[in-house]
Amino acid sequence: MKAPVRVAVTGAAGQIGYSLLFRIAAGEMFGKDQPVILQLLEITPALEVLEGVVMELEDCAFPLLAGVTTSDQAKIAFRDAHFILLIGAKPRGPGMERRDLLEANAAIFSQQGKAIDAMASRSVRVLVVGNPANTNALIVQRNAPTIAPRRFTAMTRLDHNRALAQLASKTGARVNELRQMIIWGNHSSTQYPDISQATVKGRRANGLVDRQWLTQDFIPTVQQRGAAIIRARGQSSAASAANAIIDHMRSWILGTPEDDWVSMAILSDGSYGIAEGLFFSFPCRCSAGNYQVVEGLEIDEFSRTRMLATEQELAEERGAIKHLLP
């Protein structure tokens, strides 16, 4: 049996946590031969609820679950962690402006970044899910200067999966017959879901759908899917978010297929003219635990305009919390 990996999860008593922890413990993230130790972080008032979740984890008698710890201290939860899933965040309260939300989360993610820097394994892989995810990832990464910047990512995989589902449904194909979808930019309504490279059963997706569907249906549906789910369910997407977390980590660790890629928000190195120093979603290929931006794709005017809009929003978010960056 392999040695267990340590997986820290924040916001573990929340909705996404409840859909996610059981799947990790069942071996869906790291494989059926990889034991895991879960190191769960919550705010103090949620520790009691978290104890209930831990009881349920125990009651599943998962053979791969080698241990569970709980804490309200990031420095304890992140100790020696190989993987850190930053899900807990402050939700937008009534009357709260976007800037207030950014600032409230900046405080949380600064502190968690410092704790990662001090306590986590040097080869830790971090995924930020809590919103505003891209800018929170920037704050975490900047507060953890001794960990390589490539170890930090933010999640746009749910958007990627949503885009695949919409295109599959429109073209009557199955999701696994689609390749090379892209989400560019921010995990927000300015994101750009791009089918210009996508194929459906080996044929260019662009030739299978009309422009009107693309601009008036597909793009806004994917951009606003989160809001549609809140309207319908009264709560934000949780099971699909947990599923996307599993997909993101599996792709990062186990790699992407030869003929496909995934969308990951990573620290821009200037690829495709996107400003350096923003966490921007790019098409990425993964292998052997590393990721690489897919280079050399042709970007037309239509795409460029939309990429610039989402880049602009990320630059504004960064501007709003700039004074809090080290």
Secondary element (H or E) of residue 321: helix 301-321
One of 54, 57, 129, 144 touching ligand NAI (CB under 6 A): 129
SS3 83: strand
190 binds ligand NAI (CB under 6 A): no
Q: Binding site annotation covers 61? A: no
Q: How far apart are CA 140 and CA 112, in angstroms?
A: 7
Please choose, from the candidates 73, 275, 312, 50, the residue with its C-alpha nearest in 3D space to the C-alpha of residue 192: 312
164 binds ligand NAI (CB under 6 A): no
Q: Which string of x and - marks every residue 89-118 that binds ligand NAI (by CB under 6 A)?
A: xxx----------------x----------
Q: Binding site annotation covers 11? A: yes
One of 39, 237, 256, 268 touching ligand NAI (CB under 6 A): 237
CA 44 to chain centroid, in Å, comes to: 25
Q: Binding site annotation covers 112? A: yes
- The DSSP string of 13-35 is TSHHHHHHHHHHHTTTTT-TT--
119 binds ligand NAI (CB under 6 A): no
52 binds ligand NAI (CB under 6 A): no
One of 39, 121, 131, 188 touching ligand NAI (CB under 6 A): 131
Number of helical H runs and strand E runs in the chain = 11, 14
Size of the site for ligand NAI (CB under 6 A): 28
Stretch of 10-18, 52-60, 200-208, 256-264 contacting ligand NAI, by CB under 6 A: 10-18
151 binds ligand NAI (CB under 6 A): no
Please choose, from the candidates 41, 11, 65, 54, the residue with its C-alpha nearest in 3D space to the C-alpha of residue 242: 11
310 binds ligand NAI (CB under 6 A): no
Q: 143 Cβ partners below 8 Å, 6+ apart? A: 109, 110, 111, 112, 113, 114, 116, 117, 326
Catalytic residue status for 187: yes
One of 7, 133, 138, 214 touching ligand NAI (CB under 6 A): 133
The residue among 197 and 237 lying less far from ligand NAI, judged by its C-beta, is 237
State the amino acid at position 235 in one-letter form: Q
Catalytic residue among 82, 187, 248, 323: 187
Q: 181 Cβ partners below 8 Å, 6+ apart? A: 160, 163, 164, 167, 193, 194, 195, 197, 198, 263
The residue among 238 and 254 lying less far from ligand NAI, judged by its C-beta, is 238
185 - beta bridge partners?
A: 281
* Nearest distance, CB of residue 317 and ligand NAI, angstroms: 14
**Binding region for ligand NAI (CB under 6 A):** 10-11, 13-17, 41-43, 46, 87-91, 108, 129-131, 133, 155, 158, 187, 236-238, 241
Indicate which residues carry an active-site annotation: 187
